[in-house]
Structure formats: structure tokens, C-alpha cells
Amino acid sequence: MAMTRAILFLVSFFAFLAVSFGAPIAEASEVDKRIVHHKGRLTWYTPGLGNCGNYDTESDMVIAISKDRYDNNNGGNCNQWIKIKNTANGKMATGQVRDSCPGCGYDDLDLSPALFQALGSLDDGVLQSSWHFLN
């Protein structure tokens, strides 16, 4: 009886090991591919002293995110980098969050003139975009 229990235990143990080590595990590269894309309007503004505490100029590649997004994260998005794509012409550019935009919708971005011009003409005034945080 004791021998039967020992054999049953060993068979169960090795079956457990076979199932455990045979299960697929996600590669790091698969996990890294999970990027949350946002779609929103792009506008431009004249930067100055932003809510993140930095003074920026029109030639800096900076972004003001919506006030709601800024407030929801308690300013936690400050200095994060965002990759932006103009969905109309495919142009892409990268900028850094330095301010908040009270008039923007949740997924809208307000860009410095330099950053806006990297994606389209200032004369356009408003562009449609897809964007995501890089860090």
C-alpha cells in the first residue's frame, strides 16, 4: 500500500512538472508590443512657463496634454515623451509633455509651433492624429 502511494505520488509529481514546464511563456518582445494608441486633434500654441514647471519656447518640441488627463495623473505625465502621427499625411514626430491644455479634449494635444510644423502647416490650425506615450 505504501509502495502504491509512493508510485502514485511520483507519477503525479512528474506529470505536474511536465505540464508546468511545457506551458508557453510570453516573450518580452511580445509584451513590449502592447502600446496604447490614442486618436485626437492636434492644435498649436505659444509655449511659455508650463504646468510642469519648465519655460519653453516656440522652437522647443513640447506638448500640452488635456487638463483632464493632466489632472487625472496629478501631473504624472510631465516630461514624458509622446510619438505623434498626422493621420492625413503620415508624418511623425516626437515631443515632450510640459504643460496642460484646458480647452483640449481628453485625447487631444496642443503642440508648440515647431512640433506642429513637423507634422503639418501652421495654417492648417487643426490636424487629426494617432499618438502614444514612449515612456
- The rounded mean pLDDT for the chain is 87
Q: Does the pLDDT value for residue 20 go beyond 90?
A: no
CATH 2.40.40.10 fits 36-133, yes or no: yes
Choose among 101, 5, 91: nearest CA to 50.
Answer: 101
Domain ranges of the chain: 36-133
How far is the C-alpha of 120 from the C-alpha of 20, rounded, in Å? Answer: 53
* CA 87 vs CA 12, 39, 41, 73, 94: distances in Å: 56, 9, 10, 27, 15
Lowest mean pLDDT among 5-9, 49-53, 73-77: 5-9
Enter the C-alpha cell of residue 69.
488627463
pLDDT at 62 over 60: yes
Question: Residue 14 pLDDT > 80, yes or no?
Answer: no
Q: Of 36, 135, 2, 126, which Cα lies nearest the Cα of 81?
A: 135
The pTM of the full predicted model, rounded to 2 decimals, is 0.75
